[in-house]
Amino acid sequence: MRRAFEKSCLNAIPPSAVPGMRNRRERLHPAGLLFKVCRVMTELARVVVTVGGVVLIVGVLSDAVATLIVTQGSASLWRPTRLFYASTWRATRAVAARLPDRPGEYALNVYPALSLLGLLVLWLAGLMLGWSLVYWGLDQRLGGTRDFGTLVYYAGTSLVTPVFGSAHGGLVRMLTLLETLTGLVTIALMISYLPALYGAYSRREARLLTLDDPSGERITPVRVIALNAPGGDVEMLYRSFAEWEMWTADVLESHVSYPMLALFRSQHPGQSWVTALGVITDAATLTSACVEGARNREPYFLYRRGQRAVLEISDRLHVPKAGTPVSWLIEANFEIAWRLLVDTGLPLREKAVAWADLQSLRSAYGDDLERLIEFLVAPHGFWGHSAQATVAGEVAQAASEARKKARAG
């Protein structure tokens, strides 16, 4: 490519520019300024391409490290991981929303695992292109040629094993070793990352199996309170909230560190980590607002942890803030919940004060919770593991409505 560029520069010099010379090369000497300009432009292009290749390699490696190792990963717009997940998740949601029920759910279920494989391929492709640009910019001869297609092939094969048979010269062999090291490190990072990811997933899902209602109905915040406070036993209720606070803290830490974990769906229909988070956080909020003395105990601690989890996970997933989602917190629903709370025998505050406090507490996270649920195409509601057979139709309807909302969005 460089030779062709120099040849075109030579041809651009007319023979009449230097009369009396026997050939074009001799005529070049008096008109050498143009030739020198062409050489400078060629060298400048090589420098630009080399720098571009180095920047691409460093960018890909830094993105892999920020995604798989650094727990406070950058959320810059240029990051390949962010661009990859933003585009592929949007496309997957759109496709799943238009497919029938079972294929649509299958697409949402397999996406997280496939996205990890796609992310690795994206990083390796970026490294291959970056090293190809470096080889071309440094004017390295591989296999007797400087053709860019050959350089791309060489860079691709050198990512996982050094190819010395085609490399001539100390510089290109050193670069080949360095390229192989970057490829192997990227693959090793992904492999070592998987156990941590699936370990966090298992802890999250195991706890969800304990969120159950013997009646087989959809689990609501007020039912969580009633089931964990038999006979108005407030201390037993607080112990339950303390256990769920630890689960919420684990979800907060793992899903902020590895946001793609939020896209992994539960194995059981009608269950989702985000709706479970909503149910227990709403239960803690309801208790903090309505039960006397709860603002100084475990319910309020769980409320704080749940609120932070909703806001920080939404921020790491870049959930759109557009629109005002529909909230269940209306006075008619509060009247129903209040009557059920009265039946539990718990010490309650004055009703009007509790209603005002409940509105204030939930406004801190309510809209973000609804947006997060819709962003993840999760069913609005949570059904216990033991109730699957009795509420299969209700669960299927909720999942279908979630996909319809994704299509509308």
Reply yes or no on whether the pLDDT at 59 is more than 50: yes
Reply yes or no on whether the pLDDT at 61 is more than 50: yes
More confident residue, 282 or 156: 282
pLDDT tens-digit readout, 338-391: 888 888 888 888 888 989 998 899 989 988 999 999 899 888 888 777 666 667
Q: What is the average per-residue pLDDT within 32-45?
A: 62
Distance of CA 192 to the CA centre of its chain: 18
pLDDT attached to residue 165: 52
Q: Which pTM value belongs to this model?
A: 0.80
pLDDT attached to residue 396: 73
Q: Which of the four pLDDT bands, split at 50, 70 and 90, describes residue 21?
A: very low
Reply yes or no on whether the pLDDT at 205 is more than 80: yes
pLDDT tens-digit readout, 157-172: 888 876 655 656 677 7
Contact 30, 16 (CB under 8 A): no
Residue 78's φ and ψ, nearest 5 degrees, are -80, -15
Length of the chain: 409
3-class DSSP assignment, residue 299:
helix
Looking at every residue in the chain, the average pLDDT score rounds to 81
| Among 178, 149, 142, 146, CA closest to 162 | 178
Contact 13, 27 (CB under 8 A): yes
pLDDT attached to residue 169: 65
pLDDT tens-digit readout, 247-273: 999 999 999 988 889 999 988 888 889
Which of these ranges, 23-37, 238-252, 367-381, has the smallest mean pLDDT? Answer: 23-37
Contact 289, 354 (CB under 8 A): yes
Q: How far is CA 256 from CA 123, 159, 301, 313, 390, in A?
A: 22, 31, 19, 6, 35
pLDDT tens-digit readout, 106-155: 888 999 999 999 999 999 999 999 888 888 777 766 655 667 777 788 88
pLDDT tens-digit readout, 290-311: 888 888 888 999 999 999 999 9
pLDDT attached to residue 387: 62
The C-alpha atoms of residue 115 and residue 201 are separated, in whole angstroms, by 16
